Structure 1
Amino acid sequence: MNAVIIAVLIMLGLSLFRIHVVVALVIGAIAGGLLGGMSLDDTVTAFTSGLGGGATVALSYALLGSFAVGLSRTGLPELMVDKALKVVNRQGGDRKKGLAKVLILFIILLISCFSQNLVPVHIAFIPILIPPILQVLNELGVDRRAVASVLTFGLTAPYILLPAGFGKIFHGILQSNMADSGMEIELSSIPTAMLLPTAGLVVGLFIAVFITYRKSRTYKQLSISQEPEKERTYSKRSIFFALLSVVVTLAVQLPTESMILGALAGIIVLYITGSIRLKESEEVLTDGMKMMAFIGFVMLAANGFAEVLRQSGEVEQLVNQVSGMIGDNKALAALLMLIVGLFITMGIGSSFSTIPIIAAIYVPLALELGFSDMATIALVGTAAALGDAGSPASDSTLGPTAGLNADGQHNHIWDTVVPTFLHYNIPLILFGWIAIMIF
C-alpha cells in the first residue's frame, strides 16, 4: 500500500483513539517517511524543515488570540450575550425557542461566510464571537456539532465558489497551476465548474443542522476562564473602542494581507484607548496565546507532515498507481482521483497547498483521458477541496474547535472532525463526480 495512504490512516486512526493530533501527525509523518524509502534522519530533517512553513500562521493565530482576549475586556462579548439572551427570552415556548436556534445558527453562518470573502479575516472572528455565546447556546440546547458544521461550511464553501477574498486566492492558484500543467483556463469559468460541488456542501449543511444534530444536547454551564468569573460591564465608550479596534484591524490586514500586522494594530488600539491596562497586559496577551496555541502547534506539525510526504515522492507514485488502474474508464478515473485528493488534503490539511501537488499530475492525465476544460476544473478544484473539511490538521476544523471548546466540552476529533468529514466530504465526492461527468 502507498506510504501516503498509510501515513494518513495512521494519523487519522490515532486521532480517532483520542491521541493528541500533534502526536498523531508526528507518528504518521515518521511512518510515511520510512515506508516511502527515506531514512529516519532524512524523515526527521524533512519534518523539521517543514515546520518553518507554519511559523507565520502560528504567530498570526497567537496574536489573534491575544487580540480576542483583549477585546473581551471592553465588554463587547457581554453586549453580544445580552442581545442574544433578549432574542431567546422574547421567543419563549418550544416552537419559538426552535426559531431562536435557527436564527443564531443563521447569524453564525453569515458571519462565517463573510469571513472568507466580504471581510476576509478567516478564523479570527471565532475566538471573539463563539466563546461569549456558549452559555446562550447551552440554554437553547444547541448541539455544538451543528455549530461546528455551520462554521466549517462558512470557512470552506465561499472560497471554493466565489472569486473574492480567499476565493480569489484559491481560484488564482487553481488557474495558474492548471496553466503550468498544460491547460489554459479563464478565471470566469471556475465558479461555474465549482457550482455543483458547492451544492454538495449545501446539502451536507442542511442534513447536519436539520436532521443529524437537530435535537437538543445538554452541556454544563461552565465559566470559560479558569479564574473566578468576573462581572464585566460595558458602556457606549468601551463598545466604541472595541469596534474601532476591529475596524483598525481590518484596515491594516486587508491591504497588507498580514494577519500578524492586523492583530498587532488592534492590540495597539486597545492599549492606547485604555481597554487593556498596562499592568494586566502581560496576563491578557498570554491568555490569548494559550487559547490559540492548540491551532498553532497543529499547523506547525501539519506542515512538517506535508513536507515529509512531498519529499518521499509517494504522492506522485500514488497518482501513477491510480492512473494505471483506470484505463480509459472516465467515470472510474474521476472517482479514484477524487478519493486520492481526499487522502492528500486530509494529510496536508490545506486545499490551497494541495492544488500545486495534484494539478501537475491530474491535468495531463485528464487531457489524456479526454476530459473537457470545465470537467478538469471541477476535478482538480473538488479534489483539492476534499479533506479541508474533516481534516484534523485543517484550520477549517481547528478554528471551530478553538471557539466551541473554550469551556472544555467540545472534542476536536469527535465533535468537529468526524461530523464535518461525514457531512461534507461524502456529498462533495458525489456532487463533484457528477459535475465532472456532466461537463
Structure 2
Amino acid sequence: MTAVLVSVLLMIVLSMLRVNVLISILLAAITAGMIEGLSILDATSMLIGGMGGQAETAISIVLLGIFAVAIKYSGITGILVNKLLKFMKGRRGFILLTIAGISCFSQNLVPVHIAFIPILIPPLLHLFDSMKVDRRGVATALTFGLKAPYIVIPAGYGLMFHQIIATEMKASGMNIAVSQVAVAMLLPGLAMVVGLLIAVFITYRKPKETVGVSADELAHSQASAEISAAAEHIPFNKQHGMTVVAILIALVIQVITHSLALGALAGIIVMFLGRVVPFLKGDEVIDDGMKMMGAMAFIMLIAAGYATILKDTGAIKEMVTLTNGFIGDSKLVAAFTILAIGLLVTMGIGSSFGTIPILTAVYVPLCLAVGFSPLATAALIGTASALGDAGSPASDSTIGPTMGLNADGKHNHIWDTCVPTFMHYNIPLFIFGMIAALVL
C-alpha cells in the first residue's frame, strides 16, 4: 500500500510544484519500485521494459500531430473557424457546451478518441483569446466529452468499457448483463453532467485573459477575429477536397483496423500524394507535428512503465488486499474504500480501462460478502475505475486537451487541465458513486 500511496502523492506534489510532468512520473515510478524492494537499476529496467505497453498509443499521438499540422497547412480549418466565429461570437458558455458535444461524438458516433483535438482546437485559440474564454473551461469541456460517454453510453468506447466490467465481474463470481451496466452507470454519468454545468456556468463563466498574452496580442487577435468573421466565404478548393478525402480515409481505416496509428498514417500519405502538402514541405510539417505531440507521447510511455512497476511488484494488489481488513460489514465504509483506492490507482496509471481488472478481482468477492447487488457492484467498480482518469497527469483524458490548448505554449498541463478536471469531475463522481452503491 505504501508504494502506491507514496509514489502517487509524490507525482501529484511534484507536478503541482511545476516540475515537468514527465520527470514527475519518472521519479514516482522509480520511487515505487524502490519502496517495493527493487534497486534503482532494477526499477529503471522494469520501467523501460514496461514502456512498450503504450507504444501504439505513443506512435498514434505523434502521427496524429503530424496529420493535424498537415490539415492545418491545407487551410481547411480556416473555413471551420470562420463559421464558428460567426456562430459563437459573444457566447462563451455556448462555445464550451458545443466543444463538449463535439468531444462526445469522438467516443461513439465517430470513435476517433483524442484524434480530433489537434485538428479542431489549435485554430480556435485566437478565438478563445479574443473572446476571453477561460482555457480551463475548454479543457473541462473536452475532458467531459472524452470521459462521460464511455461511462454511460454502451456504444463505441463505452461498449468496450461496459463489456470489460461485465466480463471481469463474471470472472470474479458475480453475473451481470452488459445492458445492466449501462443502468448502473447512470448516476455516475449524471455526476459528470453536474460537473460540466458547474464549470461552464459558475467556475469559468467570467471572461479571462490568457496568461502570457499581452494587450497588443489580444487586440490583434480581436481584430483578426472580426475581420475573419466579416470576410467573404473562403472558396472550397481542390486542396480542401483532398483534405476531406484524407480525413475520411483515416477515419475508415481507424474504424476497420481499430488502429489510430494506421488511420493517421494513411491520412498523411494521402495528403502528400494528393499534393496538399508539397514534398519539399514534408520535413517542416513532420517537425511541427513532433514538436506539438512528442512530449505527450513520451508521457504516455513513461506512464506505461510506471503502471508496470505498480502491477508487477504486487504493490496494487497488496494495497487492495490490506483494505479488506478494516471494512467489515459496512456498505458505507466498503463503498468509500473501493472508490478511494480506485482514485489512487487510476491517478497513478492513467487508465480507467486498465484499472477495472485490478479492482474487480479483489472487490467483487468483498461486495458479495457485504451484500451489494450486481447493479451496485457494477456502479462501484465502474466509478472507481473512472475516478482519477480526469485529473491524472498521465491520462489521455487530460493529455488530449492539453496537446490542443498548449499549441501556442500558453496552457499548463497540471494547473490548467489536471486540477480543473479533477475538481469538477472526481468530486461529483465520488459523491454520486457512493449514492449509487447505497441505493441500487
Name the TM-score class by shorter chain.
Answer: over 0.9
| Residue 115 of structure 1 pairs with residue 106 of structure 2 | yes
Q: CA deviation at 1:154?
A: 0.3
For residues 129-208 of structure 1, the aligned pairs below 5 Å read: 129-208=120-199
Q: Deviations over 1:207-230 (max 9, x none)?
A: 111101111111324899xxxxxx
Q: Check the 8 A contact 1:389/1:421 in 2, yes or no.
A: yes
| Offset, 1:174 | 1.3
Residues of 2 paired with 1:248 and 1:143: CA distance? Answer: 34
Take 2:283 and 2:21, find their aligned partners in 1: how far apart are those partners? 29
Tell me, in whole angstroms, the C-alpha distance in 1 between the residues paired with 2:94 and 2:13.
Answer: 36
Partner residue, 2:31? 31
Measure how far apart 1:317 and its partner are: 1.5
Residue correspondence of structure 1 range 233-248 to structure 2 within 5 A = 235-248=236-249
1:87 match: 87
Shift of 1:135: 0.6
Deviations 1:100-147 (A, max 9, x none): 223322221121000000000001100000000111111111100000
Secondary structure, in 3 states, of the residue corresponding to 1:73? helix
Structure 2 distance, partners of 1:106, 1:345, is: 26
Structure 1 Cα separation of the partners of residues 317 and 372 of structure 2: 20
The 10-residue stretch of structure 1 (332-341 or 37-46) with the greater mean CA deviation from structure 2: 37-46
Partner of 1:11: 11
Aligned to 2:324: 323
Q: Name the structure 1 match of 2:432.
A: 431
2: CA distance, partners of 1:29 / 1:265: 35
Tell me, in whole angstroms, the C-alpha distance in 2 between the residues paired with 1:265 and 1:385: 32
SS class of match (2:410): coil
The AA in structure 2 aligned to 1:177 is: E
For 1:60, the aligned partner's letter is S
> Which residue identity is paired with 2:62?
A
Quote the residue 1:259 is aligned against: 260
Check whether the contact 2:21–2:299 (CA below 8 A) recurs between aligned residues. yes
Q: Does 1:314 align with 2:315?
A: yes
Which string of whole-angstrom CA distances, capped at 9 and with x for unpartnered residues, describes residues 208-254 of structure 1?
11101111111324899xxxxxx9x7633222222211111111110
Counterparts of 1:178 and 1:234, CA distance in 2: 55
Shift of 1:272: 2.1
Instruction: Map Cα deviations across residues 26-45 of structure 1 (whole Å, 9 max, x no partner).
Output: 11111111112233333222
Q: Does 1:304 align with 2:295?
A: no
Aligned to 2:401: 400
Question: What code does the residue aligned with 2:109 have?
Answer: L
CA deviation profile, 1:265-285 (whole Å, cap 9, x unmatched) = 111221122101011112112
Runs of 4+ residues deviating >6 angstroms: none
2:119 aligned partner: 128
2:207 aligned with 1:216 = yes
C-alpha contact 2:93 2:201 (8 A) present in aligned 1: no
1:101 and 1:237 mapped to 2: Cα distance? 34
Q: Which ranges of structure 2 fall in alignment gaps of 5 or more residues? A: 222-227, 229-233
AA at the equivalent of 1:209: V
What stretches of structure 1 of length at least 5 have no aligned partner? 92-96, 225-230
Secondary structure of the structure 2 residue equivalent to 1:217: coil
Shift of 1:429: 0.4
Partner-residue secondary structure (3-state), 2:197: helix
- In 2, distance between residues paired with 1:154 and 1:407? 23
2: CA distance between counterparts of 1:37 and 1:365?
29
Given that 1:75 and 1:234 are in contact with CA atoms closer than 8 Å, whether structure 2 keeps it comes out as no
* Counterpart AA for 1:83: K
**Aligned residue for 1:227?**
none
Q: Which amino acid aligns with 1:127?
A: P
CA 67–234 in structure 1, closer or farther in 2 if over 3 Å, else same: farther
Distance 1:330 1:124 in 2: 41
Secondary structure at the aligned position of 1:426 is classed as helix
2:93 to 102, 124, 132: 102
Pairwise mapping of residues 324-343 of structure 1 onto structure 2 (< 5 A)?
324-343=325-344
Write the distance in 1 (CA, Å) between the matches of 2:19 and 2:158. Answer: 33
1:270 corresponds to 2:271: yes
Q: Aligned residues, how many?
A: 423
Per-residue CA distance 1:301-339 (angstroms, 9 max, x = gap):
100111111122121111122111111111111011101
Q: How does 1:3-82 map to 2 (within 5 A)?
A: 3-82=3-82
- Provide the C-alpha distance between the structure 1 equivalents of 2:10 and 2:116, rounded to a whole number of angstroms: 32
- Structure 1 residue 195: Cα displacement: 0.2
CA–CA separation in structure 2 for the residues paired with 1:21 and 1:234: 43
**Deviation readout 1:20-74 (Å, 9 max, x if unpaired):** 1111111111111111223333322221111011111110111111110001111
Instruction: State whether residues 80 and 133 of structure 1, in contact with CA within 8 Å, keep that contact through their aligned partners in structure 2.
Output: no
Contact 1:112 1:154 in 2 (8 A): yes
Task: Name the residue aligned to 2:2.
Answer: 2
Q: Structure 1 CA distance, aligned partners of 2:58 and 2:267? A: 18
Match of 1:188, SS state, is helix
